[in-house]
Structure 1
Amino acid sequence: MIRLLAPLLLLLSLLGPAQAQQLLPPEQAYRASVRTLSPEQIEVRFAIEDGYYLYKDKFQFRTEPESVTVGPPELPPGKKKHDEFFGEVETYRHDLVFTLPVSAPADIAHFELTVVSQGCADIGVCFPPTPQRLNVDLTQSGAAGGGSILSQLGLGGSAPAIDRPTGTATPPAPAGDESGRIAGLLSGQSVPLVLLSFFGFGLLLAFTPCCFPMIPILSGIIVGHGHKISKLRAFELSLAYVLGMAVTYALAGVAAGLSGALLSAALQNVWVLSAFALLFVVLSLSMFGFYELQLPTALQSKLSDTASHEKGGSLHGVVVMGVLSALIVGPCVAAPLAGALLYIAKTGDAVLGGSALFVMALGMGAPLLAVGVAARSVLPKAGPWMEGVKKAFGVILLALAVWMISPVVPAIVPMIGYGALLVFSGIYLHALDPLPQHVRSWQRFWKAVGVIALILGATLLVGAMAGSRDPLQPLAGLRGGNAATPVPAFQKVRSVAELDARIAASTRPVMLDFYADWCVSCKEMERFTFSDPAVQARMSRMLLLKADVTANSADDQALLKRFDLFGPPGIIFFRPGGAEITGQRVVGFMPAEAFTRQLDAALTPPN
């Protein structure tokens, strides 16, 4: 397995020295932190790297919530110099410490301070105004801002002491949203704690719909090796699959962070998905015994010779399947993935960002290892049972093929595909055959399963012909209604210029939804969140805009880059006139109840 990790280790080792020779990003050149002196006064500190300086007159301060206010800063005298960009100015180098008076309502003990600064490097490069977000705790004098990993993620609790300043600001990111906080986690915590946290993120993502298709793929690989496969061999195959997936997540993530575009998004087209679906069909037909997948005799002999020196000759094929699964099966963008990509994009630190993604993918794969070993454990001995298990996985792989192409074909196609598959399964389980006079209980059970499958399949086919497009509500078309609760009408925007014009002209708050046909979480948002009556009541008070990035065109990529997004789903709110509402971005799926609170906050006018 060491050789499977070699490409990743080589890439990271090459990237590391290259990053050190580049100009530092502003958030690294001027690292801000905050400390509470009293409930009425805080101290802000900038650690300024050698070769960089800050301008005295370029500081700005914002607070969230806006009911907290800060007064003018008490800045020390700076060093006067003639600047080729701004004329006679005062500047700061190395360390800068100043205080800010604070006025907060009695019921507010914590708030977020955004410090905007601007400076230059001695080599002649000047940076735009750079925001850095700091968490302030007014309850304890002497407390540093920033907080632990758990508090930065809004999960409460505390964490062990770390070796970096706890008040170090996060890189500039969409203020207050979860992916921004996770990007801050990468820059503000110790490396072991960061990797441990991302492993935990991966475990949580393993139980999302984006990862579910990987379970039958891996299980099918194990079952395809037959009943003679050992537990150790099942574990090796599972580990090879997970490592292929993890290395791909890391490398593709680094490429996405540095280029600003997800490789997996580019692969979500009808040709690629159809080819992958065809692969599943080929595998499933072999499960049904139509043929055996075998290599040419000469190649089999060569591989057999190799296998005698290297245990397990088919590991490489399983690794390839893990790579394809990572790129094609699960292109969802959740907050941890978005945060890591945002960190890589802002800092260029491919080593830490890529390592975090690799460890996150290992967390996602941990349950798959258990599934792989369990698949071996439940395999029966040779005989009719084994053939039944293989055919069951053949059906699962056919269903996966239908699911694979569903984002890029008309909605009626997967309805017919699922319906036909259930009908054929029911017939195969003898749903239409009379039972013999003396049968065992398990034969009655499987006939009942076959009857249910036949009825469900017929229902789906009738529903598809009647106009329904939702497999969960197949008969909705017979009622004369849609298959699901109507989603509020969105106006599509196709370019950054069109978006800016729509937002600027709106007299209502604006909600911008990033969507793609191949985005599983986007479909979840439409079905389970946007259809909720409480959500719809609030969305009716907004201008609803949708950026459909299914085609992944240049305009689509420009819209995503405009907001530091790497893929859908992503929802951004704006006030009337165009200002983004800070701290309210949504990345990934959010249930209706939580989204209702998000909408309430977006609809609340500023004080």
Structure 2
Amino acid sequence: MPSLSRLTRNLVALVLLLATLPALAQDPEDGLLPVTQAFQLTADASQPGTVGLHWRIAPDYYLYRGRIVIKPTDPAALTLGTPALPDGLKKHDEYLGDVEIYHGDIQATVPYTLADASMKTVALDVQYQGCHEVEPKICYPPHTEHLKLVVGAPSTIPAAPTAAPATTTAATAPGAGAALLGKPATLPGTDAQALPADQAFRFEALVKGGDALLLRWTMPKDYYLYRDKTAIKVVSPAGVTAGEPDWPSGTAHHDEHFGDTIVYFDQVELPVPLAGAAKDGKLQLDVSYQGCLENGICYPVMTRRLDVDLATGAVVVAAPASATTGTPATTPADVAPTPPPKGLVPAGADAPVGILAAIGLALLGGLVLNLMPCVLPVLSLKAITVLESGESPTAARKHALWYTAGVLVAFAALGVVIVGIRAAGHGIQWGAQFQQPVAIGLLVYVMLAVGLSMSGVFEIGGSLGNLGSGLASRSGPSGDFFTGVLAVVVASPCTAPFMGSAIAFAFAASVPVAFLIFLALGLGLALPFLLIGFVPAIARLLPRPGRWMETLKQALAFPMYLTAVWLLWVLTKQRGADATALVLVGAVLLAMALWWYGRSRRPGLSWVFTALLGAGALAALWMVHGLPAATRTATATDGSVPYSPARLAELRAAGTPVLVDMTADWCITCKANEKAVLDTDAFKDLLKRTGTVYMKGDWTDVNPTIAAFLEQYHSVGVPLYVVYPKGGGDGRKLSTVLTYDTVAGALDTASHP
């Protein structure tokens, strides 16, 4: 068997490669200073009629001259003159234009006049803003310090910092290509995280009727968009203009900076007429908009460039190119305020691991995946082929190698896709494909088709040798290969122990390193069958083949049907009963198509009828795509409260211990933990005894707020469990697989800091 020998040598070479890679040095952490340490302000009023201000600016930081604003705390008691500031270094800022900045130490003076000459104190507010000019390049939000100085005091008095203002507006927004928030990347005075701009204000554009556009913004809960801060400008060609937008009615809102305005929550659709004609139907527009998080921060103005083809209806949305470099420009709001900048690793996050450790953890994680309930239905397929190999060592090795090849190819493809999407700036976690109803429906079809094949309803012949669902049930190399692929597909909603740190490392690593880590996961998943195929002593422990195997094969079809039922339950949670009905109709059409193909003696005619029924099944699946998300209003019976950043911040501020559980209906590991620990009476008694609030976040469907929380704790997906101690302090991550003793120990510690 020359081909088998080559495949064996290649597999051995891969194993040796994974085992002998050199350790990868860790990147040094780039710590960022708190704003009051980066820009240390001291002040004194030792000279009557003048306040002296002194900033000591840390290395690699700079302060904007034009962002220094000095005001009296009580204008009736104190009048300030024009501050005397030294000249700064002239610099062209991409967003603020020509500015002056300061490095090192600077001294400023401010003349003042007291309304009552007998007053002995001077109270004023000093606001300033600066940036970190090397990686990670971020700008701090404007920071205000309240000074109360003794008139004539001979010594310099350190400024007394106060909390940063609760709202950052466009008038005081960071610039210089900076992150929206500095250190820490949280809302002032809370532990809540602000979403990245493109998640907080999801922007889309559609061609409407060939002479108009429909602009759409979708915002998570508590985020809103300003009507008056939106501008639409046609960049090219000349002669085409945007007409008056047809704004829908919004919500009246009083803004302390902008006065009475109109804002929009949830979603707003804006028709925009176009006047004039483009010769080729193509034009470019810039759309600028601004919004805020209620009782939190406001984002700087965001601008998106639209490349529109009116003839085809195609619209490409991107950041406008920089005038100087021609590269896509990043506005301050485009740089995500969460996760925190590099070097600001949240408490409780996994400690960094080296490449060898990550590969070892991936290998162990893949091995443990074999014990997870999500993989067991597909492993039953593999068990059949292993048993069929009987007494032939050559056949057993073939089965093992082709199955391993399918697993490795599927894991590599999945890993490269996920890491590639994340590298492009889009957040995605392990198992996120199960948030897509069409993917759920397609898996229902696959499980049904595999089950029907095992039940003997139809057999896949050579002419259908490339159909994925049927290949999993075939004998021979193609069946083994696609059984491995299917095992990876159904394994993705499970997170086994050891996997988290390995996948987190892969997400942050280069594509080649990520590729190796995902291959190690696949090798771990395939390892039991490799051992059976290549270790005769283990293979001899298997029962001898016989007629009983056909009965076993048919019996193992029922786990496939149960898996399809579970997937339908998940789909019902996501899109409601209508989606389930559509997929059930499609499943019946698919079953009819396979039944007809299996019994037909005229291949040509059977293909036509099968194709028509299959097209009907796909049409039903496509209709699911357009259904709205199901309303989920069920009252929790496990004592939990819904997760929200604001509620978590409120509980932590009150000194209450909190257990945050990020879960999803499609997460088998989550459901196993709930059954074993979180839904038990003992756990409810534990919550009462420790005074812990149990907070649950549901990630069954797409949820940017929960995705941001997962990013904050460097979690590759769900489940994620974080315990916050009584009286404040950093959160502590728990294992993805829970035991009662683990949870009890964590909550007892958190309730007695």
Q: TM-score scaled to structure 1, two decimals?
A: 0.52
| 1:232 and 2:397 correspond | yes
Deviation digits for residues 454-502 of structure 1 (CA, Å, limit 9, x no counterpart): xxxxxxxxxxxxxxxxxxxxxxxxxxxxxxxx96311113x54x44565
Deviation digits for residues 219-275 of structure 1 (CA, Å, limit 9, x no counterpart): 355578999992232223322233234324532452465443126323345543343
Deviation digits for residues 47-92 of structure 1 (CA, Å, limit 9, x no counterpart): xxxxx99999559xxxxxxxxxxxxxxxxxx9997953384549xx
Displacement of 1:592 in angstroms is 0.5
CA contact (8 A) 2:57 2:103 kept: no
SS at match of 1:262: coil
Residues in 1 aligned to 2:478 and 2:343: alpha-carbon distance in whole angstroms: 39
CA contact (8 A) 2:658 2:692 kept: yes
Report the CA distance shift for 1:572/1:287 in structure 2 as closer, same or farther (over 3 A).
closer
The share of aligned pairs that are identical, in percent, is: 20
Q: How many residues are treated as equivalent by the alignment?
A: 389
| Residues 314-463 of structure 1 mapped to structure 2, 5 A cutoff | 315=477, 318-334=480-496, 336-345=498-507, 347-370=508-531, 378=542, 380=544, 384-409=547-572
Equivalent residue for 1:121, pick from 126, 134, 137: 134
CA contact (8 A) 1:513 1:571 kept: yes
Map of 1:574 onto structure 2: 724
| Residues 185-264 of structure 1 mapped to structure 2, 5 A cutoff | 185-186=353-354, 191-192=355-356, 194-220=358-384, 230-255=395-420, 258=423, 259-262=426-429, 264=431
Residues in 1 aligned to 2:561 and 2:381: alpha-carbon distance in whole angstroms: 11
Report the CA distance shift for 1:581/1:276 in structure 2 as closer, same or farther (over 3 A).
same
Of structures 1 and 2, the larger Rg is shown by 2
Residues in 1 aligned to 2:448 and 2:551: alpha-carbon distance in whole angstroms: 18
One-letter code aligned to 1:185: V
Residues in 2 aligned to 1:80 and 1:581: alpha-carbon distance in whole angstroms: 27
Report the CA distance shift for 1:600/1:372 in structure 2 as closer, same or farther (over 3 A).
farther
Residues in 1 aligned to 2:63 and 2:509: alpha-carbon distance in whole angstroms: 27
CA contact (8 A) 2:570 2:666 kept: yes
One-letter code aligned to 1:85: L
Residues in 1 aligned to 2:451 and 2:478: alpha-carbon distance in whole angstroms: 21
SS at match of 2:401: helix
| 1:85 and 2:72 correspond | no
Report the CA distance shift for 1:367/1:290 in structure 2 as closer, same or farther (over 3 A).
same
Report the CA distance shift for 1:175/1:501 in structure 2 as closer, same or farther (over 3 A).
closer
SS at match of 1:246: helix
Residues in 2 aligned to 1:272 and 1:212: alpha-carbon distance in whole angstroms: 20
Map of 1:560 onto structure 2: 710
Residues in 2 aligned to 1:556 and 1:79: alpha-carbon distance in whole angstroms: 37
Displacement of 1:575 in angstroms is 4.5
Displacement of 1:218 in angstroms is 2.4
Residues in 1 aligned to 2:136 and 2:348: alpha-carbon distance in whole angstroms: 33
Displacement of 1:391 in angstroms is 2.2
| 1:529 and 2:677 correspond | yes
Residues in 2 aligned to 1:552 and 1:319: alpha-carbon distance in whole angstroms: 32
Deviation digits for residues 85-133 of structure 1 (CA, Å, limit 9, x no counterpart): 384549xxxxxxxxxxxxxxxxxxxxxxxxxxx96428976795599xx
Displacement of 1:370 in angstroms is 4.1
Map of 1:107 onto structure 2: none
Displacement of 1:571 in angstroms is 1.6
Map of 1:438 onto structure 2: none
For structure 2, the residue ranges without an aligned partner over 5 or more in a row are: 1-5, 15-23, 40-55, 65-101, 106-130, 140-178, 186-341, 468-473, 578-635
Map of 1:28 onto structure 2: 27
Map of 1:600 onto structure 2: 748
CA contact (8 A) 2:419 2:511 kept: yes
Report the CA distance shift for 1:365/1:253 in structure 2 as closer, same or farther (over 3 A).
farther
Displacement of 1:350 in angstroms is 3.5
One-letter code aligned to 1:287: M
| 1:547 and 2:547 correspond | no
SS at match of 2:498: helix
Residues in 1 aligned to 2:35 and 2:652: alpha-carbon distance in whole angstroms: 32
Displacement of 1:517 in angstroms is 0.4
CA contact (8 A) 1:55 1:89 kept: no
Residues in 2 aligned to 1:366 and 1:250: alpha-carbon distance in whole angstroms: 19
Residues in 1 aligned to 2:502 and 2:407: alpha-carbon distance in whole angstroms: 20
Deviation digits for residues 513-570 of structure 1 (CA, Å, limit 9, x no counterpart): 1111011121122111124454322322122221111012334433433443332111
Residues in 1 aligned to 2:660 and 2:752: alpha-carbon distance in whole angstroms: 17
Quote the RMSD (CA, aligned, Å): 5.0
CA contact (8 A) 2:441 2:568 kept: yes
Residues in 2 aligned to 1:80 and 1:586: alpha-carbon distance in whole angstroms: 37
CA contact (8 A) 1:281 1:397 kept: yes
Q: Which has the higher strand share?
A: 2
Report the CA distance shift for 1:509/1:564 in structure 2 as closer, same or farther (over 3 A).
same
Q: Which has the higher helix share?
A: 1
Displacement of 1:204 in angstroms is 3.6
Residues in 1 aligned to 2:637 and 2:390: alpha-carbon distance in whole angstroms: 47
For structure 1, the residue ranges without an aligned partner over 5 or more in a row are: 10-19, 33-51, 60-77, 91-117, 132-169, 304-311, 414-485
Residues in 2 aligned to 1:339 and 1:204: alpha-carbon distance in whole angstroms: 14
Map of 2:318 onto structure 1: none
SS at match of 2:404: helix
Residues in 2 aligned to 1:396 and 1:82: alpha-carbon distance in whole angstroms: 61
Residues in 2 aligned to 1:551 and 1:372: alpha-carbon distance in whole angstroms: 40
Report the CA distance shift for 1:207/1:81 in structure 2 as closer, same or farther (over 3 A).
closer
Residues in 1 aligned to 2:675 and 2:712: alpha-carbon distance in whole angstroms: 27
Equivalent residue for 2:347, pick from 175, 183, 188: 175
| 1:288 and 2:460 correspond | no
SS at match of 1:598: helix
Displacement of 1:2 in angstroms is 7.2
Map of 2:169 onto structure 1: none
Deviation digits for residues 404-434 of structure 1 (CA, Å, limit 9, x no counterpart): 4444458xx9xxxxxxxxxxxxxxxxxxxxx
Equivalent residue for 2:658, pick from 510, 527, 536: 510
Report the CA distance shift for 1:288/1:559 in structure 2 as closer, same or farther (over 3 A).
same
One-letter code aligned to 1:488: D
| 1:491 and 2:641 correspond | yes
SS at match of 1:293: coil
One-letter code aligned to 1:291: F
Which of the pair has the greater relative contact order for Cα pairs under 8 Å at 6+ separation? Answer: 1
Residues in 2 aligned to 1:262 and 1:396: alpha-carbon distance in whole angstroms: 27
Residues in 2 aligned to 1:397 and 1:315: alpha-carbon distance in whole angstroms: 21
Report the CA distance shift for 1:535/1:492 in structure 2 as closer, same or farther (over 3 A).
same
Deviation digits for residues 261-292 of structure 1 (CA, Å, limit 9, x no counterpart): 12632334554334323333333333333332
Residues in 2 aligned to 1:2 and 1:487: alpha-carbon distance in whole angstroms: 54
One-letter code aligned to 2:456: G
One-letter code aligned to 1:390: K
Map of 1:151 onto structure 2: none
CA contact (8 A) 1:223 1:390 kept: no
Report the CA distance shift for 1:506/1:286 in structure 2 as closer, same or farther (over 3 A).
same
